[in-house]
Amino acid sequence: ITIQISQIQETKILLTPQQQHYLLRVLRLQDGDKFIAMDGMGKWWLTHLKGETGEILELLEVKTELPVSITLMVALPKGNGFDDVVRCCTELGVTCIVPVLSDRTLINPSPQKLERWRRIAAEAAEQSERAFVPTILEPVAFSTAVNASTANQRYICEARGNYPHLTQVLNNLSGENIGEIVGEKIDEIVIATGPEGGWTDKEIEMAIKAKFQPVSLGCRILRAVTAPIVALSLITAACEA
């Protein structure tokens, strides 16, 4: 049982009424029963129930984070598709998600949507036992996002054109294998995926100017919701294989 906590006082974990209800009424935990409390910022504690609070027993070592930082820039898809992107990419280990407004993005989401995505990320991080909850930034114009990137590896997924496959590029990082980077140094990757109608030529040019390398995710055209999940899966596999 893992719960994300917001308040801690010395060795005491303060539980919200909803968490008390979940632990005491739904799961029927008793005093002394153990659960894990996480703060979403890297710390996990083995805890036991004491009244309506948790008492910390020990700090746990968590090894579920990737050795690279991955920022995903996703052109907002239609409907609730972004919910799936946030959920799946959190499970896969993303560090930061930037919803981008591109030339062919149809929507400008409400502040409630941003709250919803952050909630989904927190729940998915808890479910997949992540040490950190990924940051979901406010939606931003594509041009602002690409020009602000400082990551040392920058990729933009492009469905058309004869670009190298992402796995080829990841396995050949300026002569180094990503396996050598893993465990040694923290690397930063940023990867952008486009909207239903794809990127415009102008956007691809702008990205190339900002040192983003266009990459392919294979011969098939993936949906705007599928592409970021595939990109994350390939990076995760390259890190962990």
Under rule CB under 6 A, residue 218 binds ligand SAM: yes
- Least Cβ distance, residue 236 to ligand SAM (angstroms): 17
Q: Which is nearer to ligand SAM, 88 or 133 (CB)?
A: 88
Q: Is 196 a binder of ligand SAM (CB under 6 A)? A: yes
Task: Tokens for 136, please give them.
Answer: 């979901």
In the complex, minimum distance from the CB of residue 80 to ligand SAM, in angstroms, rounded to a whole number = 17
Give the separation between CA 235 and CA 72, rounded to whole angstroms: 11
User: Of 12-20, 54-62, 139-147, 223-231, which part binds ligand SAM (CB under 6 A)?
Assistant: 223-231
Closest to 132 measured CA to CA, from 182, 65, 72:
65
Q: Which one of residues 108, 185, 223, 240 is an interface residue with ligand SAM (CB under 6 A)?
A: 223
Q: What distance in Å separates the CA atoms of residue 78 and residue 43, rounded to the nearest whole number? A: 35
CB of residue 192 to ligand SAM, shortest distance in Å = 7
- The most distant pair of C-alpha atoms in the chain lies apart, rounded to whole Å, by 62
Nearer to ligand SAM, 158 or 187 (CB): 158
Q: Which is nearer to ligand SAM, 114 or 222 (CB)?
A: 222
Among 38, 199, 229, 238, binds ligand SAM (CB under 6 A): 199
CB of 35 to ligand SAM, least distance (A): 40
| 8 Å CB contact between 76 and 85 | no
- Residue 157 near ligand SAM by CB under 6 A: yes
Which range binds ligand SAM by CB under 6 A, 88-96, 123-131, 134-142, 193-201?
193-201
Q: Helices in the chain by DSSP H: which ranges?
A: 17-20, 81-92, 111-127, 142-148, 166-170, 178-181, 201-209, 226-240
- DSSP string of 130-185? -SBPPEEPPPEEHHHHHHH---SEEEEE-SSS-PPBHHHHHTTBTTB-HHHHTTTS
- Distance in Å, CB of 130 to ligand SAM, minimum: 25
Tell me how long the chain is. Answer: 241
**123's tokens:** 């729940």
Q: Which is nearer to ligand SAM, 42 or 197 (CB)?
A: 197
Place of tokens 């040019």: 205
CB of 139 to ligand SAM, least distance (A): 17
* List of residues contacting ligand SAM (CB under 6 A): 157-160, 193-194, 196-199, 216-218, 220-224, 227
